[in-house]
Amino acid sequence: MRRALIAAMSALLAAACGASSPSHQLRDASVVLDFTPNAVHAGIYSAIAQHLDAAQGVRLHVIVPSASTDSIKLLETGRVDFAILDVHDLAIARGRGADIVGIMAIVERPLSSVIASSRISTPRALDGQMVGITGVPSDTAVLDSVVAGAGGDPTRLRTVTIGFNAVADLLAGRVAAATAFWNDEGITLARSRPGFHVFRVDSYGAPPYPELVLCATRTRLRHDPGLARSVVHSLVAGYGFTLAHPARSAAELEQLVPGLDPKLLRAQLTALLPAFRGPNGRVGELDPATLQRWSGWEVRFGIVKRRPSVAETFDSSLLPPRG
């Protein structure tokens, strides 16, 4: 009886240890960001800090790209499992034959905008003015959409490629306006010198498309749907945590990514919070009706030559079921 009791206690102890130490069962999953870490990525880092990835049986590894084009290259060559991509880059990649699929929206609204000096109160006033663009293919589409949506003539604009120097060039008055992200450069400019006008592209004709999307190759999804589902569920939980606890989420991002400006980060995250929910209030949502409108807009403003197939470009089957 004594030997039986010892054996039973040993079995219970082993079971308890196994339940509290599941790390040996976790599967590694690499995710390359679209850009350097910022408030947009708060939910990813909270998924790690809160062990929400481990709860799904995975260990997320975040990779920061050295250039904006790195993410697609790393994904296509199989050096990473998943990538956060700008939705326009996803459309362009598929247009050249890359079989990349969007499986979850990270940001549910366009972040693109045209930011203008205080004397430019409407995009129509940009007629004949010098406007800075980064050189990214979608910039011209954003600029044309904003100006045309306000009743102006995009063909009368003068543009100059300034790279990612919108803040410096606008503050110095070298350009009257520039294409930039309202959640990044827009917040930075507002804190530096109030008075700039931010014209968001979805306020001037563009549909409320998801700017950033978690993507994978079709091969990855076919061979390992379980890993993809676990990553999607982890990030849905991470962004859910960010929405419920934005201050804690910001603190976790600051802790995991040293060197961020805490005040700027919190201002950016506050502005972004509504954009983490889809049109039906869900995190990660890929709304078919919205994406159909986006698909038409991509062609109309010349980002791609052929209208992207929504059914082939996106796969929402990995998202958690509606609760």
Distance CA 320, CA 33 (A): 22
Strand order across the beta sheet in which 177-181 lies: 158-161, 130-133, 177-181, 112-116, 197-200
b/e for 79-98, b at 16 or more Cβ within 10 A? ebbbbbbbbbbbbbbbeeeb
Residue with tokens 């990473």: 80
Asked if residues 260 and 39 have their Cβ atoms less than 8 Å apart, the reply is: no
Per-residue pLDDT tens for 175-217? 999 999 999 999 999 999 999 999 999 999 899 999 999 999 9
Distance CA 149, CA 289 (A): 21
Measured at the CA of 187, the angle between CA 186 and CA 190, to 5 degrees, comes to: 85
Per-residue pLDDT tens for 260-283? 999 999 999 999 999 999 999 999
**All domains of the chain in start order, with CATH:** 25-109+209-313 (3.40.190.10), 112-203 (3.40.190.10)
- With 80 as the cut, is the pLDDT of residue 16 above it? no
pTM: 0.90
Distance CA 286, CA 306 (A): 21
pLDDT given for residue 322 in this prediction: 81
Mean pLDDT of 26-43: 97
